[in-house]
Amino acid sequence: MSALSVGGVLLATRLPGAGVLAAALAGALVVVAALVVLMRRHADAFALLAVFTLPFRIPIATGGRTVNLLVPLYLVVAAGAVAHLLPRLPALRGVLKRDSFERLRERSLWTTPDGVTAILLGAIVLYALQASYSADRVKALENVAFFYLPFALLFLTLREARWRDALIARCLSVMVALAVIFAGVGFIEYARKSLFLNPKVVAANQYDNFFRVNSVFFDPSIYGRFLVLVMIALMTVVLVRHRASVSTSAATAVRERRTLLGAAAVLAWLMAGLVTSFSQSSIAALLLGLAVLGAWCWGVRPTVYLSGGLVALALVFVLLAPSGLHFGLKGSSGSAANATSGRTTLVGGGLELFTQRPLEGYGSGSFETEYKRHGKTDAVNATSASHTIPVTIAAEQGIVGLAVYLALLASAFVVLFRGAARSPARIAIAACFAALVLHTWTYADFLEDPFTWALLAVGLALARPRDDGGDSGIGERAQALAPAAAPSSV
């Protein structure tokens, strides 16, 4: 709760007038109290509300700029912390006992759900410590208060939830329904050639010969990331349903095919929405997620051969593509920087910062400040990151932060993928996480994205052994998940 208190203080500085502040706090307390009552009565309420509020951002004006905050999610997390975490505090304190720390010395622990949790929470502590010598401590504090600490509470609460098949199905239904609606909003934007949100993209669209939509996300690439994660999860259901239609009776097979047709229609709708975002990083993330599912269904070797062939074909196509396809590699202004909207320039600048202070970096949240301070006059598009998360971490946190980041990825991938082949739910989570990580390498926002924490929380919960020695309920009932996981919207 201290995390939300810090966030509330910072948010208070962004609201004009004591009257507005008092009304906002009073309204927030009423909402949180109502949500606590709901969550105490219905165990699944927190998970469903958290999934529903993950995408929604509220623009808060402050000193000439606008910050997009996940206010609805903050309210849900606050209620979840009161309803679910506070009653478990005695048990959670047990984690801090000496014998728990001694277990951290065990090599095998780092490839368990508890190990991933330890590294993840350790990354927050390290980020906060390295803010002490940052040139932009305000930015670092904002990241901790508005992202890391609230998302840590989200992670801990989701990790403690009982992820039964029915709950997973309902959460997927919510995600699919939101994605369909958001894609519809994007189509309206594309037809009107006007965005409802994000003036920066509005201005950029005026100078480009193609139009990018962002729906309700303030950012086309974040919009694309959301669609990709939903498409990967839904594709998992399609693959499982397809298997079911082949091995069941004729009557059941007919129902399965109807479901497959409905899911295919939804996927086509979402794919069209992804295209209108013109997010190259999202397309790459989608392909990786589908490759993971392909390896799960048909084996690693055939998937590697097919993926390699497609990558080679894509490279040839990109190199030979005319400038009208917006790759930016041809013509008098053609360059890698042009093709990547200046991201290669940002990456080069970030690597230069890393070489100048490789051990500890320049401090948390300092990328934009240091990038410009070191004479990078081309930093028009440098917001707060290099658009490549490892480079941002290297420049801000040095080798120390980079080592923690790589340890987190290694531990998380081992836990998420180990034994995931037995469970459609687990392989879907693993594929989505892999896609998200790739997206962060070509764009931004890793621990600043609540979906990172949500995917890890659910994935670790499903991978955690039960008290009776079973898997997590999902692995044992993989076949039962297939018919249950189809969202009602398809």
Give pLDDT tens digits along the chain (490 positions): 545 555 555 555 555 555 666 777 888 899 999 999 999 999 899 999 999 999 998 877 655 556 778 999 999 999 999 988 777 666 555 554 544 555 555 556 788 898 999 999 999 999 999 999 998 898 899 899 999 999 999 999 999 899 999 999 999 999 999 999 999 999 998 898 888 776 566 555 544 556 788 888 888 999 999 999 999 999 999 998 877 666 666 666 677 778 888 899 999 999 999 999 988 899 999 999 999 999 998 888 888 888 888 778 777 766 765 554 455 444 444 444 445 555 667 777 888 888 899 999 999 988 888 888 876 555 444 455 667 899 999 999 999 999 999 999 999 999 999 999 889 999 999 999 999 999 999 888 899 999 999 999 999 999 987 544 334 433 333 333 333 333 333 3
260 with 285: CB under 8 angstroms?
no
Token reading at 43: 């165990």
Residue by residue, DSSP assigns 299-340 as -HHHHHHHHHHHHHHHHHHHHH--GGGS---SSTT--HHHHT
457 with 158: CB under 8 angstroms?
yes
Which amino acid would we find at residue 409?
Answer: L
Residue by residue, DSSP assigns 342-382 as THHHHHHHHHHHHHHSTTT-S-TT-HHHHHHHTT-TTGGG-
- How far apart (Å, rounded) are the C-alpha atoms in residues 17 and 24? 11
- How far apart (Å, rounded) are the C-alpha atoms in residues 387 and 200? 17
441 with 393: CB under 8 angstroms?
no
Q: What is the pLDDT of residue 271?
A: 95
Token reading at 273: 């929405």
Residue linked to tokens 């070509």: 442
Q: What is the pLDDT of residue 377?
A: 53
Nearest to 480 by CA among 162, 240, 292: 240
- First-to-last CA distance in the chain? 39
Interior angle at CA 65, CA 61 and CA 70, nearest 5: 55
In sign, the C-alpha dihedral spanning 120, 125, 131, 137 is positive
Phi and psi torsions of 60, nearest 5°:
-115, 120
Nearest to 462 by CA among 421, 408, 407: 421
Q: What is the pLDDT of residue 126?
A: 96
- How far apart (Å, rounded) are the C-alpha atoms in residues 290 and 351? 31
Q: What is the pLDDT of residue 408?
A: 96
DSSP 3-state percent helix, strand, coil across the chain (nearest 5): 75, 0, 25
